[in-house]
Structure 1
Amino acid sequence: MRIALTGEALIDFTASEAGALAFLGHEGGSPLNTAVACARLGQHTGFFTQLSTDLFGERLMGFLERNGVDTGFILRSSAPSTLAFVERTPQTNRYAFYTHGSADATWAPEPLPQLPADCRFLHFGSISLLQEPAATRIADLVSANAGRCVIVFDPNVRPSLIPDLAAYRARVSNWFAMADLVKLSDEDAALLAPDRPVDALAAEILATGARAVIVTRGGEGATLWRAGKVPLSVAAPRVQVVDTIGAGDTFTAGLSVALLDQGVEHRDQLAALGDDGWRAVMRFAATAAALNCTREGADPPVLAAVQAALAQGDNR
């Protein structure tokens, strides 16, 4: 297992008709989407969570298995599955979550699972950090593997689940301090630091110890910040967008997969990677995310599709 992820797994019910109570179900959850994307992009990937034994949990387990994600560390529970309802708008997506007492929210393994010796990246973040006891045990798992794995944090801020944004921002600062690589969307950045420019937030995160901060801007691409170096930006490939769900998760997966391809296996190598290496990593991630947007729901591409799209771009 080269990449491990921990956090929620849920069913996304997306609105299939504007203004109507008609929804179509998809397997989802930011960490699950990222795990599936990593596996489809060719890396041995494992998922650390708890799934319900209800009909939704069975669907989630089968989906992970069909996509080649290692499910050997997943716990099972009779608690219900987390459900999310998504309404699309032209600019973004609106969410309603049903999480209280769910199987993934009550993930509390004792003792903590031991990551395989060959694991190099550990991802955490999203709404799993808003639910106890899972939030505490996820933080424990991350702390136990600090310095051994590259720790990747994606807050995936969902304001509808956050009753006190000021308190949440204080908690996020602690999670930033645990991470080696932080990936944010521009929407995340605006919610976390509404009165500061993005580069000031990136500098603050780097000051906590992170080696790299990347902010995505949807169709406008992404920008990388590293301590002592000028920001580095890449453009997003132009595609016909069908759905943006899962695009950020696919981007995050693409970062880890491409960094491993660059030989990055330790946090110090994030800072040592040169501009050309980082540009290749971010192009790969942006291309994977763009391809995800060409299909309905979170549907990350396979490695061959990303490679073909990159080659086509190089030949233009």
Structure 2
Amino acid sequence: MITVIGESLVDIISDPRRPREVQEHPGGSPLNVAVGTARLGLATNLVTHYADDRYGLMIEGHLHSNGVTAVRGGSAPTSTATATLNPDGAASYVFGISWDINGASLPALAAVEASTHVHTGSIAAVLPPGAQATLALVRAAREHATVSFDPNCRPGISPDAAAARTQAELFVAASDVVKASDEDLAWLYPDRALEESLQAWLELGPALVALTRGANGPVIITRHGRVKMPAEAVTVADTVGAGDSFMAGLVSGLAQLDALGAGGRQRLRDITPGELHALAAYANRAAAITCSRPGANPPTSAELGSLTGSLTAMEG
């Protein structure tokens, strides 16, 4: 069982290449990760907020159709993110968002306690009042579950980089697996090199830290190894949700390696260089598939295949 904690919202996408089309899609980084892990065959809960309004019903239908179980609290209207795509498909956002899971503390804790792995990040990790509840749930999970975190920084929501850096480091220290983009680390730590920031985060406690670099591909480091590879060559429709698909691929790959849960924590720390390379390639492929089609549309297990099969082929 996987539990993801974080925001749900509706992306309203404007593409200058198709100016007459405005698209509306359920989104939010945690929601995208939850859909991604569910499509890759993992039983998934999402602790989140959305209202019983038009956008909330859109989100609820999307979660239900992908087999994600929602645990929701809060009372505000459903959040939105208006994304404008530039000519190469990259998105910039304007948000109308709140993050609060009041009223769901007991079912949220029950979901976390029943889980092998807990993931959080993005707006849910920094925006009050829900950020405090999110951190408490993550800390409660550590006794019996592994934890992953993706800061997925949104300066438009939390413009104070120093405060966001402090908050991110609290979650990094509570996590086993951390993933960040080059844009995240450049904003959080403008005065040091990206891989220096990766190494500093590894020293805070995680077993594995991953960096995504868009078309330049990922870098993943552990205490025993380092993997760097280019992004897969695809025709990019847009990059919406690519990092979230990478994160879902990491979680799924680690599940296939039996490296999740309190009992898998040592297995996670002992991942071999070959396994690390296969894991990076698996998550990289998940992101590439998402980039090849419009919107946050992560791959299914049938599309992505298995990490263990790829690893066996590589070792052979």
The TM-score with structure 1 as length reference comes to 0.90
1:119 CA displacement: 2.0
Alignment gaps of 5+ in structure 1: none
1:263 CA displacement: 1.2
3-state SS, counterpart of residue 161 of structure 1: coil
Alignment gaps of 5+ in structure 2: none
User: Structure 1 stretch 302-311 or stretch 136-145: which is displaced more?
Assistant: 302-311
Contact 2:90 2:240 in 1 (8 A): no
3-state SS, counterpart of residue 132 of structure 1: coil
Partner of 2:298: 300
Alignment of 1:155 onto 2:134: no
User: Structure 1 stretch 250-259 or stretch 167-176: which is displaced more?
Assistant: 167-176
Contact 1:211 1:268 in 2 (8 A): no
Distance 1:161 1:19, change over 3 A: farther
Alignment of 1:140 onto 2:139: no
Partner of 1:276: 274
Q: Which of 246, 253, 257 is the aligned partner of 2:248?
A: 253
3-state SS, counterpart of residue 248 of structure 2: helix
User: Structure 1 stretch 83-92 or stretch 56-65: which is displaced more?
Assistant: 83-92
Partner of 1:191: 187
**Number of aligned residue pairs:** 305
Contact 1:13 1:23 in 2 (8 A): yes
Distance 1:17 1:236 in 2: 25
Distance 1:210 1:24 in 2: 38
Distance 2:297 2:115 in 1: 25
Contact 1:54 1:78 in 2 (8 A): no
Contact 2:127 2:158 in 1 (8 A): no
Distance 1:308 1:279 in 2: 14
1:21 CA displacement: 8.6
Partner of 1:47: 46
Distance 2:20 2:162 in 1: 33
Distance 2:306 2:139 in 1: 38
In the alignment, residue 101 of structure 2 is paired with which amino acid? W
1:19 CA displacement: 9.9
1:132 CA displacement: 1.9
Partner of 2:35: 36
Alignment of 1:182 onto 2:181: no
Deviations 1:129-184 (A, max 9, x none): 23222111111100111132111000001111223212221222212111111101
Partner of 2:238: 243
In the alignment, residue 140 of structure 2 is paired with which amino acid? A
Q: Which of 171, 177, 202 is the aligned partner of 2:167?
A: 171
Distance 2:306 2:294 in 1: 21
Distance 1:294 1:32 in 2: 20
Q: CA RMSD in A?
A: 2.2
Partner of 1:202: 198
1:197-236 equivalences under 5 Å are 197-227=193-223, 229-236=224-231
Q: Give % identity.
A: 33
Contact 2:12 2:81 in 1 (8 A): yes
